[in-house]
Every structure is written in C-alpha cells, then in structure tokens.
Amino acid sequence: MPARLSRATFGRPTLAVARRLLGCVLWHRTGDVWLRGRIVEVEAYLGNGDLASHAANGKRTPRNGIMFGPAGFAYVYFSYGMHHCFNVVTESDGQAGAVLIRGLDGIERAAGPGLTCRALNLSLRDNGRDLVTDSDLWIATGRPRRHERVVQATRIGIRKSVDLPYRFYILDSPGVSRRDRTAESRL
C-alpha cells in the first residue's frame, strides 16, 4: 500500500503542490468499492492576484471559505448546474490556495474536471473532507514515470488571468482534457 500524501506536502506553495500531484493516485471508496485514478492533469488556483480563482479578491464566502483553511482538505463545488469540480486545498492556514484535479488515467480514466468527479463519484458530499485522515478519500504518493514529460501551460475555461501558466499535465496521457501544442513545443 503506497503512502498517503501528508499535511506538510499539501501545505506547500500551490504551484509546487500542483506539480507534485502529477502521478499521484486519488482513491475514493463508495460503499464497498474502491475507485482510483492516477492524476495526470491539474491546475493551480491562488489567492490574491489570481483573478481566475474563487479566492481572487481575498474575501471568504460560504463557498470558498475552505480554500483559506488548512491544507489537505477537499474543496468541491458545483459548476454549470451539472458538473462537480474537485480541488485539494494548499498553502498554510489563512492563505488561500487550491489545486483542481482535471484528469485521471489508469484504473479510472477521465479527461476534464467534471468527468473526473463523475468517474470517482465525487460530489458536494465530499466537500470539506480531510484527505490526510479520511478513511475513504485520500491521495497516494506517486510520480510521473521516468519517460513521461510534464507540460506547463495556461488554464482552461477561464476569462481572467488567462496568461498565467498554472496548468500542468503529463504529455501523451489519455486523461488530459486539452493539449497545448505551443507549450509542448517548448519542451
């Protein structure tokens, strides 16, 4: 059984955590069935200064409050009236930050944040769960394989801070929602 990612690991700067999550495995138990997928695409969302973030203006609201809390907790929100997006809270307590899980491969394959939640049966019920201590929801340590390259690119589906290169993905994984040929050409 691989080790679980620790509070200290989640508590590092958001961009570092985002990159670190690639190759790690997200586990979720529903009933007596374990669902799991290898994380292959992520996006970082910061606090003040990142206008695309739910914590952009530095103000806590009922929805985004968990982004300001201690690292290692799940931040799940409902989007477009039909999809869920699953994030992991980062940074030290009081500092907002989260990493959006956008794609999985391996046992459960999913390209895109909404499909990722569908594949692992993640929903608003999971909002606020502690990935460090929860027996049914956690992340196993992992790394990209030796031959795999990591691409850093701009984020998907946002209207603000569009040029910030806060998306990371594993080149050639089927779980990547959208490739960025320009970023790939820089490798």
- Report the run of H or E that residue 119 belongs to, with start and end: helix 113-119
| Residue 87 near DNA by CB under 7 A | yes
Q: CB of residue 60 vs DNA: minimum separation in angstroms?
A: 8
- Taking CB under 7 A as the criterion, the residue among 32, 81, 181, 185 binding DNA is 81
Secondary-structure percent of the chain, ordered helix, strand, coil, rounded to 5: 15, 30, 50
Q: Are 101 and 42 in contact (CB under 8 A)?
A: yes
The site map against DNA for 128-167 (x = CB under 7 A) is ---------------------------xxxxx--------
Q: How many residues bind DNA (CB under 7 A)?
A: 36
How far apart (Å, rounded) are the C-alpha atoms in residues 111 and 102? Answer: 7
Q: Is 85 a binder of DNA (CB under 7 A)?
A: yes
Measured CA to CA, the distance from residue 156 to residue 14 in angstroms comes to 17
CB 152, min distance to DNA, A: 17
Site string for DNA, 44-63 (x = CB under 7 A): -x------xxxx-x-x-xxx
Burial class of residue 35 in the structure, from the number of CB atoms within 10 Å of its CB (0-12 exposed, 13-18 middle, 19+ buried) = middle
Distance CA 1, CA 170 (A): 23
Residue type present at position 187:
L
Nearest approach in angstroms of CB 8 to DNA is 22
Q: Name the site residues for DNA (rule: CB under 7 A).
A: 43, 45, 52-55, 57, 59, 61-64, 67, 75, 77-83, 85, 87, 98, 100, 112-116, 155-159, 177
